[in-house]
Amino acid sequence: MTSVKIFEALNWASSFLKEHNREEFAGELLLRHYSGLSRTSMLMKMRDELDGEVWTEFQAAVKRHSDGEPIQYIIGSEEFYGRRFIVNELVLIPRPETEELVQGTLQRLDCLFPESDQIDLVDVGTGSGAISVTLKLEKPELKVTAVDLSKDALEVARKNASELGAEIEFLHGDLLQPLILQGKKVDAVISNPPYIPVADQEWMSDIVTDHEPHMALFAGEDGLDLYRRFMDELPLVLKEKALVGFEIGAGQGEAVRALLEKTFPYANVEVVFDINGKDRMVFAELDS
């Protein structure tokens, strides 16, 4: 087997990925994963020879990514809110924008329930559990329930909760139906539901459309199907004083605001823009 130095492996990966219209930086992320080196260590050892087995695994991984497989699925994890979450093709890869939904939720819970020692919160469509686990760990007094329609996704979320030490109740079911069937009322409903219009699939990256679960991405012609269904179910599970927090697709802010204002005429509804200046969250505070 030909010996390869670290810098040579990175140069090969960079050129190969560029040829296949993929991000060149992916090569470094994959090599760090397979070599177990931190970025600093890698930079210091650029002229060191790469272990033969690592070189073989690395080449295979780069080729998988060039074929469109997301790096996070190859590595098996993604960072979210400073923690590492297990991910696979059964769950959506957590996005940085969703960290802003978590942050906004925590701020509003503190304002809305300043004296409360227990707040019942449900995360609908939990996927990897990134939202529910993070909220529980950041605000331990929360009593968190996580719901998903996919049993496979719930298994991933359970594993993440267990590994990160978050005590969460997991329920299998469609949107808020498991809570409605139990007659359960909650203080907060948070969700990053599917919100992409089906037609958008034509121009989206194949890394997303060919690999991430479609049931977690697409929601009808205008992407608003799930929010409309929420409007039927939210009044059945929310307490009089409550918080609703949604992640939305860019450009959907006013439409989702209008749905919430029609459902809860006395709520304070707010469209919030993300760090990139796109409308990304809608919060409704009910305090009758």
Same domain for 164 and 133: yes
Question: What is residue 265's DSSP assignment?
Answer: T
Same domain for 262 and 142: yes
In this predicted structure, the answer to whether residue 214 has a pLDDT above a threshold of 50 is no
Is 179 exposed, middle or buried, given 0-12, 13-18 or 19+ CB atoms closer than 10 A? buried
- Comparing 198 with 18, the larger pLDDT belongs to 18
What does the pLDDT read at residue 25? 86
Question: d(Cα 192, Cα 66) in Å, to the nearest integer?
Answer: 29
What does the pLDDT read at residue 161? 98
This prediction has a pTM of 0.85
In this predicted structure, the answer to whether residue 94 has a pLDDT above a threshold of 80 is yes
Same domain for 236 and 205: yes
Stretch 11-20: mean pLDDT, rounded?
Answer: 92
Average pLDDT value over all residues in the chain: 88
Question: d(Cα 85, Cα 256) in Å, to the nearest integer?
Answer: 29
Q: How many CB atoms lie within 10 A of CB 271?
A: 16
- Domain hosting residue 56, numbered range: 6-67
In this predicted structure, the answer to whether residue 211 has a pLDDT above a threshold of 60 is no
Residue where one domain finishes, among candidates 16, 32, 67: 67
Same domain for 274 and 205: yes
Same domain for 100 and 35: no
The closest of 136, 191, 139, 141 to 162, measured between CA atoms, is 136
Same domain for 94 and 61: no
